[in-house]
Amino acid sequence: MQIRILWADDEIELLKPHILFLESKDYFVFPVNNGNSAIEIIEKEDFDIIFLDENMPGISGLETLTRIKKIKQHIPVVMITKSEEEFIMEEAIGNNIADYLIKPVNPNQILLSIKKNLDSSKLVSQKTNLNYQKEFQELGMKLNSTLNLSEWSDLYKNIVFWELKLSEIEDNGMKEILEMQKKDANIQFCKFIQDNYLNWLNGVEESPEMVHTLFKNKINPKLDESNVFILLIDNLRFDQWKILSPTLKKFYNVKEEELVYSILPTSTQYARNSFFAGLMPSEVAKKHPNLWKGEDSQEGKNLNESKLFDFQLKRLGRNLKWSYKKITNLNSGKKLVDNFNQLLENDLNIIVYNFVDMLSHSRTEMEVIRELADDEQAYRSLTLQWFEHSPLYEIVKKCAQSRKKLIITTDHGTVRVTNPVKIIGERNTNTNLRYKTGKNLSYKENDVFQIKNPEDAFLPKTGISSEFVFVKGQDYFVYPNNYNHFVNYYNNTFQHGGISLEEMLIPYIELDPK
């Protein structure tokens, strides 16, 4: 379909060479010499783009622009002017112009502006696809080699980069290829975890930074520099952080951005208690038996985080004035915003925000949320929409305004599950879809990562012959009874507890106020 251009300029006759140039490129150009004529034709006909001279007799270009936007606000308008006065630029930008050109303009400038506004998505799509095709081969070669800890972090960051990049274009071909490559990456990553996880925990091999050592090794030294706010967003994946980061960069500079490892199970009961205690789960159960709640407990399993953290501070010899706030609903978030100034005298403030975790669970249980977050891209988008209209956004702004250092992290991520794996267990087996613990569990050994002796993974035993098993990649456990019902209910939902890049490689971000 031929591109239609409206060009309004009181010296339109002098622009005949420009118009002929565009017509030679198969563009249709409708010339007028004043603002009123432009408005009249806009009311009758459709155009793809408008070039508008700012200085015309009669109504000015700025006034013409305002009236055009009221009639057909989505048409891109390019303002052309002899003047470089700042107020004209500000007025034009305030009216959402598509481009701003200073006279004299040459035909190639006009052509570039057209392509930028009308063909940019196609050109970006073509270039993005081409670049990923080149990257695809490099990623494939890396996956066929033996990767170390830092190389796995770099590879996952690269996958997330391309996920976000390809989500900006309409062509789904490369997205599907990337999804297949991500599955391959998860297969290899799960083998990496099976081969190394127990060695890390037992000192056989050098371990990565993990959630239970994170405060001691990364955050504690920062407390000597300044007052710190820790924002622990439950269930925050690295790709979700990358979606949120442009908004946060309005107020903060990113000083450090890295991936650290969660522990198994990648669930709140284990990973978040370990963060606050600075200990692995079995160590918490032994040192603080009254604060650890096992799988069979009917009580909340994360009700003692502040007490566990107090013990960690004492072990580290820290005598701090600190606070702990857990936000689980809108009202508690608003209350924290209202009382924010009370936190400013503390050396350390910890805010646990549960929304992303609730979003993933709501998506499982509520059809409307499932429809709003139908895939990974929509799930990220919903996270951003929530954040920008949440009390958490106000809290971040207040932290920046108060010149406070902000550290954002999480306890584990989440993965979209698509492949059911059958398991049989006794009646008291736990309900998590990504890991099971108990005795007399029946499963295919190739489907899971088995930990026959929980103490090897610093996990509390639930019985004399109990074990832990974890699914990998996008798998999830389903019992044979009512198999089809549970597959229909849980398939394509976001879950956590097992082994995947998305669950185990979690963001650790340090932000300094601008």
Ordered by start, the domain boundaries in the chain are: 4-105, 120-201, 214-415+502-513
Amino acid in the structure at residue 54: E
Q: Which of 14-23, 82-91, 402-411 has the lowest mean pLDDT?
A: 82-91
**Does residue 22 have a pLDDT over 70?**
yes
**pLDDT above 70: percentage of residues in the chain:** 92
3-state secondary structure of 92: helix
User: Which pLDDT score is estimated for 91?
Assistant: 67
Q: Where are the beta strands (DSSP E) in 234-386?
A: 252-261, 322-327, 348-353
Between helix 61-71 and helix 86-94 the angle, nearest 10°, is: 10
State the residue for tokens 């005949």: 16
User: Is the CATH number of domain 4-105 3.40.462.20?
Assistant: no
Q: Average pLDDT in the 477-491 region?
A: 89
User: Which pLDDT score is estimated for 453?
Assistant: 93
Which residue would you say has higher pLDDT here, 299 or 338? 338
Q: Are 452 and 467 in contact (CB under 8 A)?
A: yes
User: Which pLDDT score is estimated for 360?
Assistant: 59
Q: Is 357 exposed, middle or buried (0-12, 13-18, 19+ CB in 10 A)?
A: buried
User: Which pLDDT score is estimated for 56?
Assistant: 85
Q: In the 8-state DSSP scheme, what is residue 425? A: -
87-110 per-residue burial string, b: 16 or more CB within 10 A, e: under 16: ebbebbeeeebbbbbeeeeebebb
User: Which pLDDT score is estimated for 195?
Assistant: 96
Q: How many CA atoms lie within 13 A of 96 on its CB side?
A: 10
User: Which pLDDT score is estimated for 135?
Assistant: 79
Q: State the Cα–Cα distance between residues 372 and 336, nearest whole angstrom.
A: 28
pLDDT band for position 454 (cuts 50, 70, 90):
very high
Q: Which two tokens stand for residue 511?
A: 């932000």
Q: State the Cα–Cα distance between residues 15 and 507, nearest whole angstrom.
A: 55
208-237 per-residue burial string, b: 16 or more CB within 10 A, e: under 16: bebbbbbbeebbbebbeeebbbbbbbbbbb
The tens digit of pLDDT for each residue in 381-437 reads 888 888 998 899 999 999 999 999 999 999 999 999 999 999 998 888 888 999 999
Q: Which two tokens stand for residue 410?
A: 């999480």
**Does residue 364 have a pLDDT over 60?**
no
Average pLDDT over all residues of the chain? 88
Which residue would you say has higher pLDDT here, 452 or 363? 452
Q: Which long-range contacts (CB under 8 A, 24 or more apart) does 305-312 make?
A: 305/272, 305/273, 305/276, 305/352, 306/276, 308/273, 308/276, 308/277, 308/284, 309/276, 309/277, 309/350, 311/277, 311/287, 312/215, 312/216, 312/276, 312/277, 312/278, 312/279
The tens digit of pLDDT for each residue in 92-148 reads 566 677 788 888 888 898 888 888 887 766 656 667 777 777 777 888 888 888 999
Q: State the Cα–Cα distance between residues 433 and 417, nearest whole angstrom.
A: 9
**Does residue 365 have a pLDDT over 70?**
no
Residue by residue, DSSP assigns 434-491 as SEEEESS-B--GGGEEEESSGGGGT---SSTT-EEEEEBTTEEEE-STTHHHHHHHHT
The tens digit of pLDDT for each residue in 158-217 reads 999 989 988 877 667 778 888 999 999 999 999 999 999 999 999 999 999 999 999 999
Q: In the 8-state DSSP scheme, what is residue 317? A: T
pLDDT band for position 355 (cuts 50, 70, 90):
confident
Cα torsion for 451, 455, 460, 462, to the nearest 10°? 60
**Does residue 259 have a pLDDT over 70?**
yes
User: Which pLDDT score is estimated for 439?
Assistant: 87
Q: Which two tokens stand for residue 340?
A: 């924010």
**Fold observed for domain 214-415+502-513:** Alkaline Phosphatase, subunit A (3.40.720)
User: Which pLDDT score is estimated for 408?
Assistant: 97
Q: Which two tokens stand for residue 352?
A: 């646990």
Report the relative pairing of strands 419-422 and 475-478 from DSSP bridges.
parallel
